[in-house]
Structure 1
Amino acid sequence: MTKAVLIGPPGSGKTTLGRMLAERLGVVFRDTDADVETVAGKPVSDIFVEDGEARFRELEHEAVRRALAEHDGVLSLGGGAVLDERTQQLLAGHHVVYLSVGLSDAVQRVGLAAARPLLVLNPRSQLKKLMEERRPVYERLASQTVVTDKRTPDELADEIVKGLPA
């Protein structure tokens, strides 16, 4: 069983915080986007362009399913992974940490030139729309919600560790 599953929109700090949290807990960090890239043999942005979002989402669901079954460290999910109802069901019983971030902090962290396939046209507007659409799903799935705005990764890691089940 994973120690913590991190969910949240692009720019919420899932990768940075996931690595730090795993180090603090003495476990391994795993990122399902990296798993998808390994299986596909190409970056997520290329999967979107060459194979389409539907193919990416299928690879993503399989990566989450596999990771939840075999990984016992800290797991970071891609921002949209939670949209799949099958994935939502798989998360039941896991300690899911929703990293909540405001739009201005997310924009600063993502950088508007980053290779984020769903943010290609009008990135700020697209990010705002994604965050608004996904927020209810993130909130419903979360065992713990951590607001990341204007806080250091150290502070956030401390809060998450305190919220983990014994």
Structure 2
Amino acid sequence: MSGDGPVVVLVGPPGAGKTTVGNAVASTLSVGFRDTDVDVEQVAGKSIADIFVEDGEPVFRELERTAVATALAEHDGVLALGGGAVSDETTRSLLRGHRVVFLDVGLSDAVGRVGFNRDRPLLLDSPRAQLKRLLDERRPVYTEVASVTVDTSGRAPDDVAEEVVGHAR
């Protein structure tokens, strides 16, 4: 592991709890929390949903790739990546040498957490089916980049955060 960069990077699908768990882990470790989705929205000056609709997914993915690279270089706290960030080979390469925790979640838990959230553009059409497809497609990639996998299904965020803290130290 490199001494530079985030103390832990959280990856996983929508509904895994990256933001909720990430904030709890950062609080416990007394470090900052950063979410690359928020970074993308700040740079673009609009929501991710609006980027998808107005500019298209390729533009979003390029903004995301840049946001992840910047955050990995600058941030020394807890970092949460957008659910699809690991689909990019450059991003996967940049994650090597970092402590990466894959927050895994089952379909029913993810659907319950995500619901019909309009801020998740890839889940607008048939959310349950789309989420299942994303989980199936991305799980091998999450596993590839992760140092450790933490199952979040049926667990309270504080319980998951406690386990992640154990892996971050």
Matches of 1:114 and 1:27, distance apart in 2: 30
In structure 1, distance between residues paired with 2:63 and 2:46? 12
The number of equivalent residue pairs is 165
Amino acid at match of 2:131: L
Runs of 4+ in 1 over 4 A off after TM superposition: none
Report the CA distance between 1:163 and its aligned residue.
1.7
Quick check: 2:118–2:124 contact (8 Å CA) kept in 1?
no
- Give the residue type in structure 2 aligned to 1:151: R
Residue of structure 2 equivalent to 1:52: 56
Find the aligned partners of 1:106 and 1:91 in 2 and give their Cα distance.
24
Q: RMSD of aligned C-alpha atoms?
A: 0.8
Aligned counterpart, 2:114 = 110
Alignment equivalent of 1:21, drawn from 3, 25, 29: 25
Unaligned runs of 5+ in 2: none
SS of residue paired to 1:151: coil
Residues 71-150 of structure 1 correspond to what in structure 2 (within 5 A)?
A: 71-150=75-154
* Structure 1 residue 115: Cα displacement: 2.0
Instruction: Report the Cα distance in structure 1 between the residues aligned to 2:156 and 2:117, rounded to whole angstroms.
Output: 23
User: Quick one: which amino acid aligns to residue 108 of structure 2?
Assistant: S
Deviations 1:59-106 (A, max 9, x none): 000000000000000000000000000000000000000000000000
For structure 1, the 5+ residue unaligned runs are: none
